[in-house]
Amino acid sequence: DTEVTQTPKHLVMGMTNKKSLKCEQHMGHRAMYWYKQKAKKPPELMFVYSYEKLSINESVPSRFSPECPNSSLLNLHLHALQPEDSALYLCASSQGGSGHNEKLFFGSGTQLSVL
């Protein structure tokens, strides 16, 4: 299994809603990532988890809250989002070592619209 699975594929939410994005991989990877991608733009790193601990937070607003319940799962909890947060949210994983040659495996993303 070389897949990273993200659910839901599409999400529409109001600014007062609370929702969660989910990501799952069964490749035994120990590093997992959240990226945000606007249309026709490169992915922007949000968070990195390494061995289930948050290792990088790219100064993301607190209305985005990541969670890594175990080595296979990664969640992104959303609360009080703004319309400008509408984007494609991508989850990725990698083996998790300190090597420079690690490649990222991406899910297909969740297309989020904030109304």
Partner 1 sequence: AQSVAQPEDQVNVAEGNPLTVKCTYSVSGNPYLFWYVQYPNRGLQFLLKYITGDNLVKGSYGFEAEFNKSQTSFHLKKPSALVSDSALYFCAVRVPSGGYQKVTFGTGTKLQVIP
Binding site for partner 1 (CB under 8 A): 4, 6, 40-43, 45, 48, 50, 55-56, 90, 92, 98-109, 111
C-beta closer to partner 1: residue 33 or 64: 33
Minimum distance from residue 107 beta carbon to partner 1 (Å): 5
C-beta closer to partner 1: residue 16 or 99: 99
In the three-class reduction of DSSP (H, G, I as helix; E, B as strand; rest coil), residue 23 is classed as strand
Minimum distance from residue 73 beta carbon to partner 1 (Å): 17
How far is residue 35's CA from residue 61's CA, in Å, rounded to a whole number? 14
**Three-state secondary structure of 80-112:** CCCHHHCEEEEEEEECCCCCCCCCCEECCCEEE
* Residue whose C-alpha is closest to residue 107's, from 95, 91, 93, 96: 91
- Amino acid making up residue 110: T
Both tokens assigned to 65 = 């809250």
C-beta closer to partner 1: residue 5 or 15: 5
Both tokens assigned to 96 = 């998790």
Minimum distance from residue 16 beta carbon to partner 1 (Å): 28
C-beta closer to partner 1: residue 15 or 56: 56
